[in-house]
A and B are shown apart, each in its own frame.
Chain A
Amino acid sequence: MTLFRAGSIALLGFALAVAALRPAFAGGVGFSDEEMNTGGDGPAFFGFVRLVDGPGIADAKVTAELKNKGALVTRTDIMGVYKIPGFGADVNPDDVTISCAKDGYKEASVQRRPHDAGDTKDPIEVECYLQKQ
Chain B
Amino acid sequence: MPVSFFAKRGVQFWGAIAIGLLIVAVRPEAIHAQTLTGSVSSPAESAMEGVLVSAQKIGSPITITGVSDEHGRFRFPDGQLSPGHYALRIRAVGYDLDGPQAVDVGTASADVAIKLRSTTDLAAQLTNTEWLMSMPGTPQQKRPLIECMSCHTLERIVRSRYSAEAFAPVLARMAQYANNTTQARVQVRVAKRPVRDDLVRKLADYLATVNLSSGPTWPYELQTLPRPKGRATHVVITEYGLPRKTIAPHDVRTDAQGNIWYSNFVENFLGELDPRTGAHREYPIPVLKRGFPTGALDLEPDAEGNLWLAMMFQTGLAKFDMKSKTFQLFPIPRDLDNDAAQQSMVMPRASNVDGKVWTNEVAKQSIMRLDLKTGTYELIDPYQLLPKGTQHGPYGMAADAQNNLYFMDFGGEFIGRIDAKTKESTLFPTPTQNSWPRRGMLDDRGRLWFAEFAANKLGMFDTTSESFKEWTAPTPYTYPYDSFMDKNGDLWSGGMASDRVLRFDPQSGRSVEYLLPRPTNIRRVFVDNSTSPVTFWTGNNHGAEIVRLQPLD
Contact = CB atoms under 8 A, between A and B. Distances in A.
A89 B391 contact: no
Interface string B455-485: 0000000000011000000000000000000
B426 A73 contact: yes
Contacts of A69: 384-385
Query: B195, B202, B428, B429: which has the most chain A beta carbons within 10 Å?
Result: B429
A98 to B, nearest CB: 13
Interface stretch (B100-108, B136-144, B322-330, B506-514): B136-144
B466 A32 contact: no
A30 interface: yes
Contacts, number: 123
Q: In the A-B complex, list the 10 residue pairs whose CB atoms are closest, starting with the nearest.
A: A28-B143, A39-B389, A39-B387, A27-B434, A30-B144, A70-B425, A69-B384, A34-B391, A37-B390, A31-B203
What is the interface residue range for chain A against chain B?
35 or more
B160 to A, nearest CB: 16
30 contacts: A25-B387, A26-B391, A27-B143, A27-B433, A28-B142, A29-B140, A29-B143, A30-B143, A31-B196, A31-B199, A32-B147, A33-B411, A35-B196, A39-B387, A39-B389, A42-B387, A66-B385, A69-B385, A70-B384, A70-B425, A71-B385, A71-B427, A72-B427, A73-B426, A73-B427, A74-B429, A87-B386, A88-B386, A88-B388, A91-B385
Contacts of B384: 66, 69-70, 88
Interface of A: 22, 24-42, 59, 61, 64, 66, 68-75, 85-91
Contacts of A91: 385
Query: A25, A37, A87: which has the most chain B beta carbons within 10 Å?
Result: A25
Interface string B130-153: 000000000111111001000000
Interface of B: 139-144, 147, 171, 175, 195-196, 199-200, 202-203, 382, 384-392, 411-413, 424-429, 433-434, 436, 454, 466-467
B199 A34 contact: no
A38 B196 CA distance: 13
Contacts of B147: 30-32
A69 to B, nearest CB: 4
A19 B436 CA distance: 18
Given A69-B384, A87-B387, A35 B424 contact: no
B391 A28 contact: no
Nearest to B148: A31
Contacts of A72: 385, 426-429
A39 B390 contact: yes
B545 to A, nearest CB: 29
A36 B196 CA distance: 9
A21 to B, nearest CB: 12
A70 B454 CA distance: 26
A27 B435 CA distance: 9
Query: A35, A37, A66: which has the most chain B beta carbons within 10 Å?
Result: A37
Contacts of B412: 25
B143 A32 contact: yes
Contacts of B428: 72-74
B335 to A, nearest CB: 23
Contacts of A31: 144, 147, 171, 175, 195-196, 199-200, 202-203
Contacts of B391: 25-26, 32-37
B455 to A, nearest CB: 10
A45 to B, nearest CB: 11
A34 B411 CA distance: 6
A73 B466 contact: yes
B427 A28 contact: no
Contacts of B171: 31
A59 B467 contact: yes
Given A72-B429, A75-B467, A29 B141 contact: yes
A89 B386 CA distance: 8
Nearest to A89: B387
A32 B200 CA distance: 9
Contacts of B195: 31
Contacts of A35: 196, 199, 391
B168 to A, nearest CB: 10
Contacts of B425: 70-71
B382 to A, nearest CB: 7
Contacts of A87: 385-387
B387 A70 contact: no
B467 A26 contact: no
A60 B202 CA distance: 42
Query: B200, B411, B467: which has the most chain A beta carbons within 10 Å?
Result: B411
Contacts of A39: 386-390
A129 B259 CA distance: 56
Contacts of B202: 29, 31
Contacts of A37: 389-391
Contacts of B413: 25
B199 A25 contact: no
Contacts of A75: 467
